Structure formats: structure tokens, C-alpha cells
């Protein structure tokens, strides 16, 4: 990874940990992390919506350096959208980040690139940094079309997003076949697609902008494989699912340089 981009290690809790468990988890994480950890790496957690107030209270009350955000947001600002949560509501909770277009949203909630694009724009409108998730399924990987497929998702997700906003987007490359399966992409697989994403950002905007954008890898990241993945020049962090639920393991991932 480049020395000019601060790595972002983000734990996506998915639909795990209720608000009481969230408090215990963040307290343990805050106790374990040191100032040096935060000097080297930005640490974020993406809890379920129902935990956000509890996490905010801890972070604000103890002035923790842990960032937090949500796993999704509505494309709409307000109104008759039963069950949805707006960017304005997340901003009110002082969220920094919001994941957009996670493969589980694309797969189980039929989120298209158009929907992802609308959500990316909604996130920026409300001052949230979108972590825009892209990545191919197994069929696409077997056909060798992972780069083409993923770059089409980048194009779609960032359509008409101005450079002033795009320069702060985080892109998470998550090959779907490596999520929750224990099947991790090789560092070379991760670099191939993350490098291509940076190249596409340079084409869409500029090399200067592309060099600023953080590109994460996600998919069965653990303390045992994170260092090799992070050694690749275009990987600037990780989006971590299962391993983020174990505080000790997550802290080891944050300290990937020691692994």
C-alpha cells in the first residue's frame, strides 16, 4: 500500500451483535487499541442500525478514535419508505462511513448499479463517506472476466459523481466467492483488480484523484493473511466480516504490520 494513503480497517458486523453486545465489543476494542494503532491505521466499525446510538455514546463520551458507520442507507432523503434509514439520520448519529452496494445487498435485495449510484450520491449529500463495494461472483471469476465485471460496477456506482466527492470515496473490492467462505483471494488476485480499479479512477477522473482514493480488499480477511494482502501497492485496507466479530482477531488485523 502507498504510504500517502492511510489504511482503513473496517469491521462490517453484518446482522450480528445487539446493542448491549455492541457496547461490550467497542469497549473491549477501545481498551486494546493504542495511540500508535491509530497513528498507523484508521479503524472503523459498521454495526447494525440499532447499535449506532450505543456506539456513538461510547465514542463521544470517551472521545474514542474509533470511527463508525452504517451498512446501508436509503437512496431517498425522507418520506414514505417504510423500513428505510436516510443519510440525514445517519449523519445525525455522527456516522463517518456507510457501506453501499455490499454484495449481500446486491444479491438479496436486488440492488443494481443504478441503486448503488443513487445511494453513493445520497451518502455524499449528507456528508457521509461511502464505502462502495464491488466484486465478481464465482462464475465471472471462472470465466476470467473479474476485471471487466468489477470496473463496470465502478463505472455504474460513480456515474455523475463529481471529482470533489469521488476523491473521498472508499472502494471495497470483495470477490463474492471469497466472502464468508474461508476462500481468500491471493494477494495477486487482490492486486490485479484493485490496481485495475485505480486505473479506472484515473481514466474517469485523474491520476491525482486515483492516487488519493483508498481501495480495500474484503473476503475472508484474517490475521494470518492480512499482511500479504496489505503488502500489495493498490490495497489500502480491508473490509472485514467474520473476523471483525472477534476483538482479539480484529486488533491483530489492525496491527497487520506485526503479523
Ligand X SMILES: O=C[C@H](O)COP(=O)(O)O
Separation CA 136–CA 106 (nearest Å): 11
Q: Which of 69, 87, 101, 241 binds ligand X (CB under 6 A)?
A: 241
Q: Please give the Cα distance from 123 to 72 (Å, whole number).
A: 10
The single residue of 25, 102, 111, 126 carrying the catalytic annotation is 102
Work out which of 185, 240, 247, 254 binds ligand X, going by CB under 6 A. 240
Catalytic residue among 42, 111, 174, 249: 174
Q: At what angle do helices 187-204 and 146-157 cross, to 10 degrees?
A: 40
Cβ neighbourhood burial of 103 (10 Å; 0-12, 13-18, 19+): buried
Going by C-alpha positions, the residue among 116, 110, 133 that lies closest to residue 197 is: 133
183 labelled catalytic: no
Binding footprint of ligand X, residue count (CB under 6 A): 14
Q: Which residue is nearest to ligand X (CB)?
A: 241
Q: How far is the CB of 79 from ligand X (least distance, A)?
A: 29
Annotated catalytic residue 174: yes
> Binding marks (x or -) toward ligand X, 120..159, rule CB under 6 A?
----------------------------------------
- Contacts (CB under 6 A) with ligand X, residues 168-197: 174, 179-180
Angle at which helices 19-32 and 52-61 cross, to 10°: 30
Annotated binding site: 12-14, 180, 220, 241-242
Contact criterion met (CB below 8 Å) for 190 and 169: no
b/e sequence 171-194, b meaning 16+ C-beta within 10 Å = bbbbbbbbbeeeebbebebbbbbb
- What the block records as the C-alpha cell of 235 is 490495497
- Residue 12 touches ligand X, criterion: CB under 6 A: yes
Q: Kindly state the smallest distance separating residue 172's Cβ from ligand X, in Å.
A: 7
As measured in angstroms, the least distance from the Cβ of 180 to ligand X is 4
Q: Which residues are annotated as a binding site for substrate?
A: 12-14, 180, 220, 241-242
Active-site residue set? 102, 174
**Contacts with ligand X, residue ranges (CB under 6 A):** 12, 102, 174, 179-180, 218-221, 239-243
Amino acid at each position: 500500500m502507498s504510504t500517502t494513503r492511510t489504511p482503513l480497517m473496517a469491521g462490517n458486523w453484518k446482522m450480528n451483535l445487539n446493542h448491549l453486545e455492541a457496547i461490550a465489543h467497542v469497549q473491549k476494542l477501545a481498551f486494546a487499541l493504542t495511540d500508535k494503532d491509530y497513528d498507523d491505521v484508521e479503524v472503523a466499525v459498521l454495526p447494525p442500525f440499532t447499535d449506532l446510538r450505543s456506539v456513538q455514546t461510547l465514542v463521544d463520551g470517551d472521545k474514542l478514535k474509533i470511527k463508525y458507520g452504517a451498512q446501508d442507507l436509503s437512496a431517498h432523503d425522507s418520506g414514505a419508505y417504510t423500513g428505510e434509514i436516510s443519510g440525514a439520520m445517519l449523519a445525525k448519529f455522527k456516522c463517518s462511513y456507510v457501506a453501499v452496494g455490499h454484495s449481500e445487498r446486491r444479491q438479496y435485495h436486488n440492488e443494481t448499479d443504478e441503486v448503488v449510484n443513487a445511494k453513493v450520491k445520497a451518502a455524499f449529500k449528507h456528508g457521509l463517506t461511502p464505502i462502495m463495494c464491488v466484486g465478481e461472483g464465482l462464475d465471472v471469476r471462472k470465466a476470467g472476466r473479474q476485471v471487466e465485471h468489477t470496473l463496470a460496477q465502478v463505472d455504474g456506482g460513480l456515474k455523475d459523481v463529481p471529482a470533489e466527492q469521488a476523491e473521498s470515496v472508499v472502494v471495497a473490492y470483495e470477490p463474492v466467492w471469497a466472502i464468508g467462505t474461508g476462500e481468500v483471494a491471493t494477494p495477486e488476485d487482490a492486486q490485479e483488480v484493485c490496481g485495475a480499479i485505480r486505473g479506472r479512477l484515473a481514466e474517469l477522473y485523474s491520476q491525482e484523484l486515483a492516487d488519493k482514493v483508498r481501495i480495500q480488499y474484503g473476503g475472508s480477511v484474517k490475521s494470518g493473511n492480512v499482511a500479504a494482502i496489505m503488502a500489495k501497492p493498490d490495497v489500502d485496507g480491508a473490509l472485514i466480516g467474520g473476523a471483525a466479530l472477534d476483538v482479539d482477531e480484529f486488533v491483530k488485523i489492525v496491527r497487520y504490520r506485526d503479523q
